Amino acid sequence: MKRVKIPRALSEKLSLAVQEWTGCGTCRASHREAGREAGLSETDMELARQGTSTDPREAALIGLALRVLAEPGALTDEDVAEVRAHGWSDRVIAEVVGVVALNLLTGAFNLLAGIQPESGDRAGRDVP
């Protein structure tokens, strides 16, 4: 995944959306930190965790990522065409699958192994 064309900040948004869905607090905390390093605001990250963005292009890609995660068998040519209509290349669309798969793998492993963030509750939400 080091050669992806997805910009780092957007990749972190995709990861936050996926980890919110899978429930891995450790991964979520890691991607929040990486998102900050990539220049994301708290609002950007919160919207990503909700599966959206203020940028309609990014929102379309985040929505695709969540569909790949939750219901890959239901994706249609029209779904892909819609993301293309937002200006995303086939390469970026394909890379979304890799980002989702990597996040599912690491999140599932952490959850199965009982790995939790050092601070925060089991859901990985920040605790004051």
User: pLDDT tens digit string along 64-84?
Assistant: 999 999 999 999 999 999 999
Query: Do the Cβ atoms of 53 and 44 come closer than 8 Å?
Result: yes
When the pLDDT of each residue in the chain is averaged and rounded to a whole number, the result is 92
Instruction: Note whether 107 and 18 are within 8 A (CB).
Output: yes
Mean pLDDT of 87-102: 96
Which tops the pLDDT comparison, 128 or 110?
110
Q: Please, what are the domains in the chain?
A: 8-113 (1.20.1290.10)
> Please, what's the b/e burial string for 34-45 (b: 16 or more CB within 10 A of its CB; e: otherwise)?
bbeebebeeebb
- In sequence order, the 6+-apart residues with CB closer than 8 A to the CB of 31 are 12, 15, 16, 19
What's the residue count for the chain? 128
In angstroms, the CA 15 to CA 11 distance is 6
**Candidate from 1-15, 19-33, 61-75 with smallest mean pLDDT:** 1-15
What are the tokens at 85? 């209509």
- For the stretch 29-69, pLDDT in tens is 999 999 999 999 999 999 999 999 999 999 999 999 999 99
Radius of gyration of the chain (CA): 14
pTM of the model: 0.89
Distance (Å, rounded) from C-alpha 21 to C-alpha 63? 12
| Cβ contacts of 32 within 8 Å, gap of 6 or more | 16, 45
| Residue for token pair 């979304």 | 96
pLDDT for position 102: 96
